[in-house]
Amino acid sequence: MDKTQKFNMIFAIIAVFGILFFHEVWTEQQKVEAVPYSEMEVLLQQGKVKELTIREQYIVGELKEADENGKTYIIANRVDPKLAEQLSQYKVPFTQVHESKFLATLLSWIVPALIFFGIWFLLIRKLMERQGGMGGGFMNIGKSKAKIYVEQQTGVSFEDVAGVEESKAELQEIVEFLKAPDDYGKLGARMPKGILLVGPPGTGKTLLSRAVAGEAAVPFFSISGSEFVEMFVGVGAARVRDLFEQARKSAPAIIFIDELDALGRARSAAGLGGNDEREQTLNQLLVELDGFDPSTGLVLLAATNRPEVLDPALLRAGRFDRQVLVDRPDKKGRIEILNVHMKKVQVGEDVDASQVADFTTGFSGADLANLVNEAALLATRRKAEKVSMEDFTQAIERIVAGLEKKNRLLNPREREIVAYHEVGHALAALALPGSDPVYKISIIPRGIGALGYTLQRPTEDRFLMTKEELENKIAVLLGGRAAEKLFFNHLSTGASDDIARATDIARNMVTRYGMDPDIGFVVYEENQQSFLNQQHGHGVSGCQISDSTAHQIDASVRKIIDDTFVRTYEILEANKEILDRCAKVLLDKETLLEEELAELSKGLQS
């Protein structure tokens, strides 16, 4: 049962009881306490009656003064057919009324029913508008479900959006145009018809669009791409027309389509083709984009995290003229985002947003908001007055490595293997130049399969890496397997995830980065995620290579892994005593921090 049906049922019950109540009140108002006719005659003789009204069955008399009960009206049964002759002697004015009891009874039922029906009609209309469908039922199936927001409803401004300054600057121009459209036409320029926000999930695309509506103080039509398509053919196209028609009436206004890839996926010649419902909806959107004039103050915003699947006709100039990348924030952006969210919680003096940003490389805005919330929950759980830096550290570990499994008990042999494995990672990172500093080592199980973890803290954001740095990254990943072989001379399943990640890096070095001299500077695998200005038909289409080249790629990947493993093994073998000492302390404490590890690893050879 949806909200509308539930509302109708509740209102119907209330209406029935209300009508019964009003009918009872109506009926009660018609009842007056009767007195004997002889008593009315006495009152007439005493001159206390001001006026009489003669009805078919009874007489109503209005007294000159209220009686001892405060009543000014009395009623008596009519008994004498020659009443007029008798009443004339008292010199009291009187009238006779002929009435219909059927009409009075009918009004007592119809009037309350009409009142409740009018109230129901107004409330159900408001409910439909709030749900986004300008009316309900089959006849309104083609109506747009867009929700209209205005400034006081969005409650978001550019001050609430941090870490995406370039994107904000692009959209600030849209706000200025909506506020003063005449200023942009002086030099013959026109505003873009459509702005496409592109970026990974959680980077703030929807938040940016709401901030534009809040800053411009214009009607904001918001709808998801999936809401256009229904089971009935032609419904999506009708909703597109209805949405743009509503926006034109409210111009200047903003139309925001979230998850555009659900509506604008590339068309194909296979299948139903132009008769397909989704393609009809897309065709109607393309027509509307060609038809509306941006000088009227109508701006179209859309967001997607899968631009590679959009139809090329949707991205051409004249439709979505401007494409704005909303990427994951850099360190400066992460600090700004953390400061925005930290204002909402009580943080301690030891909390350093810059240090938290160091640990959160690659986090999106939504991830950072979740991090601050997790830290606040941890502080609340331990009944602290403020959120400390330790709470943030534990929240990062929980997000990155998983929930701590205190009840998962390892036997002494497994704990020993895990300890040497994790110290192997840490010493390899300390010995190799350019590796991220090790912040913490732990052998406490976390998540689904992590029996221990080594947490590194990047010193800066990196946007490109050299071949040597990638090889060092592989060496750190293989440090755990090398330590196990060095001390126990056997192999365990604990290094499976490390080997998978190392193999992935090595394969990318060969097939995508062109870092193997024997293979050459050739790309054999396409990038898994295409972004702006990369339309279909460009770049590498799949892995179309010969068998001999595939064998050569496999051999090159294996050689990178094997050579790096030998180098890592030699480093740990040269520092075997330090590794043994650190592992024994880790077995005792279960956790080693950066300062303790630096003290234990003095004299480490590179």
Q: Cite the active site residues.
A: 422
Query: Residue 524: what are its φ and ψ, rounded to 5°?
Result: -110, -10
**Helix/strand/coil percentages in the chain, nearest 5:** 55, 10, 35
Strands 147-149 and 194-198: unpaired
Ordered strands of the 591-593 beta sheet: 453-456, 438-442, 591-593
Rounded-to-integer distance, Cα 565 and Cα 504, Å: 15
The Cα–Cα gap between 478 and 494 comes to 11
Rounded CA separation 297/290 (Å): 15
DSSP class of residue 181?
G
Q: Angle formed by the axes of helices 389-401 and 365-381, to 10°?
A: 120
Please, are residues 234 and 280 in contact by the beta-carbon 8 Å criterion? yes
Report CA 465 to chain centroid distance, whole Å. 34
Q: CA-CA distance, 530 to 261, in Å (whole number)?
A: 14
d(CA 340, CA 439): 26
Find out whether 163 and 336 touch, Cβ atoms under 8 Å: yes
Nearest Cα residue to 564 out of 498, 512, 513, 518: 498
Which segments within 39-181 are labelled E, that is strand?
A: 49-54, 58-63, 73-77, 94-96, 147-149
Residue found under tokens 């030998």: 566
In 10 A of CB 260, how many CB atoms? 27
Peptide bond into 437 cis (omega under 30): no
Radius of gyration, alpha carbons of the chain: 40
Burial of 164 (0-12, 13-18, 19+ CB in 10 A): buried
Give the H/E segment covering residue 508: helix 496-511
Burial grade of 466 (CB within 10 A; 0-12, 13-18, 19 or more): exposed
Calpha distance 319→381 (Å, rounded) = 51
Nearest to 286 by CA among 260, 268, 306: 260
What count of other Cβ atoms lies within 10 Å of the Cβ of residue 95? 9
